[in-house]
């Protein structure tokens, strides 16, 4: 047992990968006191000694994640949501509905609300129909998932790319580069992004870079949400880089004559993967909520494109007469954000076993 443990960290270190990634400062302690779960895993795998020795960090994290039921549930829901978003046209075709087709015959002309109980839920319309227009809510929820996830993911990508590059630069070069980037980050963190987007959307042209209508809105939303999101990740990356660049293995690489770019990309970046992944998974649900808020305020996607936030906003006028119309998109947002958060928590715990739960 002790022998194995000594081998593993050493093995990792040769490749510049400390065993615990998110808290390299306490690396020795971490090595000395692996979590009970980890120990059990190691014990289980004892007969496959070779395999154990060759386990990568990702694999360890995966082993831990697999044992976290809540995180797994979240992960499965996330996968299902992604599948729903990707297969939206197929799913709606299967139930025979289209998110943009009106069914006024299902609407009570006096009140504007759907005929039948629970907002017109029926075999044809699984989640009922919208007041006034009679559009199928199930189809709109399914298509709405596309918008939510698209904005959630892509704006996270924008933020991660910007945040990582600028964070590493600030941390690695220090000095005036660090000072400049850090001040920009401070500024952006203090910026009222929601108000900024609302103002921006109202002056936005209808056509931009070959995109029209909803395309323009999505493009701008993704860029802006991503742009205001990068300092969060940038700060973490900068801090990590600051501590990592003084490590012995970096020193060693440097004394062996490694260039700056080699150290940046081969020595530092791999060690930053874990915090980046954690922050990304945490950022996606926040972005989804921001998109919903923007659509709620009427500056999100354009009609007739379906969006959960926009559905929620138009449901306000019918909260008493057709409560289901408000409940359904609300639940959709709730489930999505919860799933991403649970999954994100699990990933963090898996990558950082010392993090208190």
Partner 1 sequence: MTTQRTSGRRKQALAAAAVVAALLTTAACGGGDDNGGGSKNGAAGFDAANNKVAQASLAKKGGELKFASAQDADSWDTTRGYYGFMWNFSRYYSRQLVTNKTEPGKAGAEIAPDLATGVAKVSDDGKTYTYTLRDGITWEDGKPITSKDVKYGIERSWAQDVLSGGPTYLKEVLDPKDEYEGPYKDKSKDKLGLKAIETPDDKTIVFKLPKANSDFEEMLALTSASPVRQDKDTKSKYGLHPFSSGPYKFESYSPGKNLVLVRNTEWKQSSDPIRKAYPDKISIKFFSNANELDQRLIAGDYDLDLAQTGLSPQGRTTALNEHKENLDNPVSGYIRYAVFPQSVKPFDNEHCRKAVIYGADHVSLQTARGGPQAGGDIGTNMLPPSVPGSEGQDYDPYDLAGANKKGNVEKAKEELKACGKPNGFKTTIAVRNNKPVEVATAESLQASLKKVGITVDIDQFDGSQTTGIIGSPSNVKKKGYGIIIMGWGPDFPSVQGYGLPLWNSDYILESGNNNYALIKDKKIDGLFDDYVNTLDDAEKADIAKEINHKVMEGGYYLPFVFEKFINWRSSRLANVYTTDGYSGQYDFVNLGLKSEK
Contact between 168 and partner 1 by CB under 8 A: the answer reads: no
Out of 143, 172, 230, 318, the only residue in the binding site for partner 1 (CB under 8 A) is: 318
Contact between 325 and partner 1 by CB under 8 A: the answer reads: no
Out of 67, 317, 324, 338, the only residue in the binding site for partner 1 (CB under 8 A) is: 317
Contact between 116 and partner 1 by CB under 8 A: the answer reads: no
Closer by beta carbon to partner 1, 21 or else 326: 326
Contact between 265 and partner 1 by CB under 8 A: the answer reads: no
To partner 1, the closest distance from the beta carbon of 297 in angstroms equals: 11
Stretch that binds partner 1, among 137-145, 171-179, 281-289, 316-324 (CB under 8 A): 316-324
Buried b (16+ CB within 10 A) or exposed e, 273-288: ebbbbbbbbbbbbbbb
CA pair distance 180, 166, nearest whole angstrom: 10
Closer by beta carbon to partner 1, 116 or else 270: 116
Out of 76, 101, 208, 331, the only residue in the binding site for partner 1 (CB under 8 A) is: 101
To partner 1, the closest distance from the beta carbon of 323 in angstroms equals: 11
Return the structure tokens found at 12.
């990792």
CA pair distance 289, 334, nearest whole angstrom: 9
Contact between 178 and partner 1 by CB under 8 A: the answer reads: no
To partner 1, the closest distance from the beta carbon of 304 in angstroms equals: 5
Contact between 102 and partner 1 by CB under 8 A: the answer reads: yes
Contact between 133 and partner 1 by CB under 8 A: the answer reads: yes
Buried b (16+ CB within 10 A) or exposed e, 190-229: eeeebeebeeebeeeeeeeeeeeebbbbbebbbebbbbbb
Of residues 213 through 232, those in contact with partner 1 by CB under 8 A are 213
Stretch that binds partner 1, among 30-38, 71-79, 107-115, 141-149 (CB under 8 A): 107-115
Q: Are 39 and 357 in contact (CB under 8 A)?
A: no
Closer by beta carbon to partner 1, 24 or else 112: 112
Return the structure tokens found at 154.
């892509």
Contact between 307 and partner 1 by CB under 8 A: the answer reads: no
CA pair distance 139, 36, nearest whole angstrom: 47
Closer by beta carbon to partner 1, 138 or else 343: 138
Contact between 54 and partner 1 by CB under 8 A: the answer reads: no
Per DSSP, the three-state class of 212 is strand
Angle between helices 137-173 and 69-86 (to 10 degrees): 120
State the DSSP H helix or E strand holding residue 207, giving kind and residue range, or none if neither: strand 207-208
Three-state SS sequence of 27-70 = HHHHHHCCCHHHHHHHHHCCCCHHHHHCCCHHHHHHHHHHHCHH
Out of 140, 235, 238, 302, the only residue in the binding site for partner 1 (CB under 8 A) is: 302
CA pair distance 131, 112, nearest whole angstrom: 6
Closer by beta carbon to partner 1, 110 or else 209: 110
State the DSSP H helix or E strand holding residue 211, giving kind and residue range, or none if neither: strand 211-212
Q: Which residues bind partner 1 (CB under 8 A)?
A: 100-102, 104, 107-113, 131-134, 202, 206, 212-213, 298, 302-304, 314, 316-321
């Amino acid at each position: 047992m002790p022998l194995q443990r000594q081998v593993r960290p050493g093995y990792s270190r040769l490749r510049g990968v400390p065993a615990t990634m998110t808290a390299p400062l306490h690396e020795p302690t971490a090595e000395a006191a692996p979590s009970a779960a980890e120990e059990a895993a190691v014990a289980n795998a004892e007969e496959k000694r070779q395999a154990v020795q060759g386990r990568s960090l990702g694999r360890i994290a995966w082993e831990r994640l697999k044992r976290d039921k809540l995180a797994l549930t979240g992960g499965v829901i996330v996968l299902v949501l992604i599948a729903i978003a990707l297969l939206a046209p197929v799913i709606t075709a299967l139930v025979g509905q289209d998110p943009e087709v009106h069914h006024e015959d299902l609407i009570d002309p006096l009140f504007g609300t759907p005929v039948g109980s629970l907002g017109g839920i029926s075999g044809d319309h699984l989640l009922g129909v919208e007041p006034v227009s009679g559009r199928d809510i199930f189809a709109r929820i399914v298509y709405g998932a596309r918008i939510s996830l698209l904005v959630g993911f892509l704006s996270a990508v924008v933020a991660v790319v910007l945040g990582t590059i600028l964070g590493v630069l600030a941390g690695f070069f220090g000095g005036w580069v660090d000072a400049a980037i850090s001040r920009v980050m401070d500024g952006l963190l203090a910026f009222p992004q929601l108000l900024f987007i609302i103002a921006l959307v109202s002056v936005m042209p209808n056509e931009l870079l070959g995109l029209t209508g909803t395309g323009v809105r999505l493009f701008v939303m993704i860029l802006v949400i991503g742009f205001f999101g990068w300092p969060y990740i940038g700060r973490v990356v900068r801090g990590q880089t600051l501590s990592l660049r003084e490590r012995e293995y970096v020193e060693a690489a440097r004394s062996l004559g490694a260039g700056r770019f080699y150290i940046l990309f081969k020595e530092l970046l791999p060690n930053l993967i874990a915090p980046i992944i954690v922050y990304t998974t945490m950022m996606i649900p926040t972005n989804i909520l921001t998109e919903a808020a923007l659509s709620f305020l009427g500056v999100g996607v354009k009609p007739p494109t379906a969006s959960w936030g926009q559905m929620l906003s138009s449901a306000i006028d019918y909260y008493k007469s057709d409560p289901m119309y408000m409940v359904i998109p609300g639940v959709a947002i709730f489930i999505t954000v919860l799933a991403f958060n649970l999954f994100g928590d699990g990933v963090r715990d898996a990558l950082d076993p010392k993090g208190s739960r």
